Chains A and B, each alone.
Chain A
Amino acid sequence: MNNNITITEQELELIDNYLAGRLTGADKAAFEAQLAGNEEWKAKFSQVKLLAIGIQEAALREQLPQFHGEAEHYKKLASVKNINWIKRLSIAASVIAIISVLGWVLFFKQPAEEKMYTAFYKPDPGLSTEMGLSDNYIFDRAMVDYKTANYKAALESWNKLLAVNAGNDTLHYFIASAQMADNNPTAAIAGFDKVLQNHQSVFTNDALWYKGLALLKKGKKQEAIAAIEKAEHSQKQTLLLKLKE
Chain B
Amino acid sequence: MPADSFPNSKFLQQLEAIKNNSEPHLRELYRYNYKTVEKYVVQNSGTADEAKDIFQEAFIAVWRNIQLEKFIPQTENSLNAYIFQVSKNKWISYLRSAMHKKTIGLSGQEEKEMEVEEINVADKDQLDAIAENIHKLGDNCREILKRFYYNKESLRAIAAIFNWTEATARNNKYRCIEKLRNLLKN
**Bound pair (A, B):** yes
Seen from chain A, the residues whose Cβ lies within 8 Å of a Cβ on chain B are: 1, 3-4, 7, 9, 12-13, 16, 20, 47-48, 50-61, 63-64, 66-68, 70-71, 74-75, 136-139, 161, 163-168, 200, 202
11 A-B residue pairings within 8 Å (CB atoms): A20-B152, A51-B177, A54-B129, A54-B134, A56-B21, A58-B130, A60-B21, A70-B30, A75-B35, A139-B28, A166-B8
Q: How far is the CA of A3 from the CA of B17 in the complex (A)?
A: 31
Known: A56-B21, A61-B60, A67-B26. A164 touches B14 (CB 8 A): yes
The binding surface of chain B is classed by DSSP as helix
Contact B150 A55 (CB under 8 A): yes
Known: A57-B130, A61-B131, A67-B30. 8 other contacts (CB 8 A): A1-B122, A7-B177, A13-B170, A56-B150, A66-B27, A68-B30, A75-B35, A137-B24
Contact A51 B180 (CB under 8 A): yes
Q: How far is the CA of A48 from the CA of B145 in the complex (A)?
A: 12
Known: A54-B127, A55-B130, A55-B150. A3 touches B181 (CB 8 A): yes
Pick the residue among B23, B131, B145, B173 that contacts A63 (CB under 8 A): B23
Contact A9 B171 (CB under 8 A): yes
Q: How far is the CA of A152 from the CA of B152 in the complex (A)?
A: 32
Q: Which residue of A lies closest to B55 (CB)?
A: A68
Seen from chain B, the residues whose Cβ lies within 8 Å of a Cβ on chain A are: 8, 10-11, 13-14, 17, 21, 23-28, 30-32, 34-36, 52, 56, 59-60, 63-64, 67-68, 76-77, 80, 122-123, 126-127, 129-131, 134-135, 145-146, 148-152, 170-171, 173-174, 177, 180-182, 184-185
Q: Which residue of A lies closest to B148 (CB)?
A: A16
Closest Cβ–Cβ distance, residue A12 to chain B (whole Å): 5
Q: Which residue of B lies closest to A4 (CB)?
A: B185
Contact B32 A57 (CB under 8 A): no
Q: Which residue of B lies closest to A11 (CB)?
A: B174
Pick the residue among A50, A137, A164 that contacts B13 (CB under 8 A): A164
Which residues does chain B contribute within 8 Å of A52, judged by CB atoms? Answer: 149
Closest Cβ–Cβ distance, residue B72 to chain A (whole Å): 16
Q: How far is the CA of A20 from the CA of B21 in the complex (A)?
A: 13
Closest Cβ–Cβ distance, residue B165 to chain A (whole Å): 15
Q: Which among B67, B80, B126, B149 has the highest number of chain A CB atoms within 10 Å?
A: B149
Contact A53 B67 (CB under 8 A): yes
Pick the residue among B13, B123, B131, B184 that contacts A58 (CB under 8 A): B131
Q: Which residue of A lies closest to B131 (CB)?
A: A58
Which residues does chain A contribute within 8 Å of B17, judged by CB atoms? Answer: 164
Q: Which residue of B lies closest to A134 (CB)?
A: B27
Contact A139 B36 (CB under 8 A): no
Closest Cβ–Cβ distance, residue A83 to chain B (whole Å): 17
Closest Cβ–Cβ distance, residue A242 to chain B (whole Å): 36
Which residues does chain A contribute within 8 Å of B127, judged by CB atoms? Answer: 50, 53-54, 57
Contact A71 B31 (CB under 8 A): yes
Contact B68 A53 (CB under 8 A): yes
Q: Which among A1, A7, A56, A63 has the highest number of chain B CB atoms within 10 Å?
A: A56
